[in-house]
Amino acid sequence: MMCLWQYCLHFQLLLSLRYLAKGAFNSEVADTHGVSRSTVCRVIGRVVNSINANIDNIRFPTQPQSLLQTKREFYRKCSLPNIVGAIDGTLVPIVAPTENEEVYVCRKGFHALNCQAVSSPDLKFLDVVARWPGSTHDSAIFENSRMKDYLDNHDGMILLGDSGYALKRYLLTPIPAPRNEQEHLYNRRHRQGRLCIERTFGLLKSRFRCLHKTGGVLPFKPQKCASVFVACCRLHNLCLQNGLPDPPELDLEEDHDQEVDAPDNNLGGQANNFLPPNLFIQADNCWRENKNRYVFAFLELLVAEQVFHEVHMSFLIVGHTHEDIDAKFSEVSRLLNTKDAEYFDDFLNVLKNAERITQFLMLSHGLRVI
């Protein structure tokens, strides 16, 4: 017969695995298994710490034979040489922390951890960083990681990352505005190689719903939430090593930003809602609103973050009296004096009416509407 302490260990393990696989509230897990919520919290923490202490299967390839094998697998996948991993970040929803709550609000408006990982072609985790708040940018996480320090001191190893990362000799990113067939071909091969990290995150969150919004949020402190994420990554690798069947992958479209690489055609910014490569701004010649260091610093940031390849800003001559946009604002102002716009949709209707009035005035004066 199984003694009491063995039964307790099995019970704790099964309870924790059920939570990791399903998520939900601690109260629901407690009611299902006939224990208190505090017991659920303690048991999950204890099992997670045990998993992280005893399962050491997240290892970046450093031996020549393993590096060569990884490079060959990536080359068969995307035909790019010396690739040893694909890197990206994913958002893990957590409960609002009591300290420094604002830094955990991610770009999508909820509290989260931004967890970075490197994956292999066979969808295993090679490196995991899970200690940064949701507001932290992917590139900032990489710049402060041991992975960057390691690659700085070793040659012949390259990672594939999206446009959120800075281009380095050991980190390849997509070309933002490809101009010839060779650059288009590079982007296609880059996407083929980097797809493995997105599939790895999708498989991870499909198997462990506690990390996905369909399983609620992790109801722990940020440090414990990070431990839960790392434990799930270790269990994910363990499942692949033992040949467990893959669950249906979740749609992680809302978990990741849309690919910002330039489209694989010659339509520029008109295709697939991509921004044009260059931004042209025409502004009033006033130093207080337009000619100041804050405006130019923001435009420089747009180029540094590869939102645009170039930004061109020009100013109207001093003493100008009329401009196309002035007529637009005049019509909008006139309509707002006669109609309230309490909501954004109301304001859009005002803009549409102003557009129709402007076109009518131009036609009545014999001007061509373009």
Q: pLDDT digit string (tens) for 27-74?
A: 777 777 778 888 888 899 999 999 999 999 999 999 999 999 999 999
pLDDT at 254 over 60: no
Q: How far apart are alpha carbons 39 and 144 in whole angstroms? A: 36
Identify the band that residue 264 occupies on the pLDDT scale cut at 50, 70 and 90: very low
Higher pLDDT, 367 or 358: 358
Which range among 148-157, 222-231, 303-312 shows the weakest confidence by mean pLDDT?
303-312
Helix/strand/coil for 98:
coil
Element (H, E) at 129: strand 125-133
Higher pLDDT, 45 or 319: 45
Helix/strand/coil for 205:
helix
Average pLDDT of the chain to the nearest whole number: 83
Among residues 199, 195, 207, 205, which one has the least CA distance to residue 242? Answer: 207
Which range among 158-172, 196-210, 294-308 shows the weakest confidence by mean pLDDT?
294-308
pLDDT of residue 359: 54
pLDDT at 7 over 70: no
pLDDT at 82 over 80: yes
pLDDT in tens, 110-156: 999 999 999 999 999 999 999 999 999 999 999 999 999 999 999 99
Identify the band that residue 368 occupies on the pLDDT scale cut at 50, 70 and 90: very low
CA dist list (Å): 89 to 13, 134, 146, 156, 230 = 28, 10, 15, 23, 13
Q: How far apart are alpha carbons 114 and 103 in whole angstroms? A: 11
Which range among 189-193, 221-225, 309-313 shows the weakest confidence by mean pLDDT?
309-313
pLDDT at 267 over 50: no
Q: What is the mean pLDDT of residues 308-326?
A: 73
pLDDT of residue 193: 95
Which range among 8-12, 73-77, 82-86 shows the weakest confidence by mean pLDDT?
8-12
pLDDT in tens, 173-199: 999 889 999 999 999 999 999 999 999
pLDDT at 346 over 90: no
pLDDT of residue 325: 64
pLDDT of residue 323: 62
Higher pLDDT, 288 or 140: 140
Q: Which residues contact 219 (CB under 8 A, 6 or more apart)?
A: 25, 26, 41, 94, 95
Classify the phi-psi angles of 161: left when phi > 0, otherwise alpha if psi is within -120 to 50, otherwise beta: beta
pLDDT of residue 271: 34
Identify the band that residue 6 occupies on the pLDDT scale cut at 50, 70 and 90: very low
Helices within the chain (DSSP H only): 4-22, 26-33, 37-54, 64-78, 138-143, 146-152, 181-207, 222-241, 293-304, 324-336, 344-364
Q: What is the mean pLDDT of residues 261-275?
A: 41
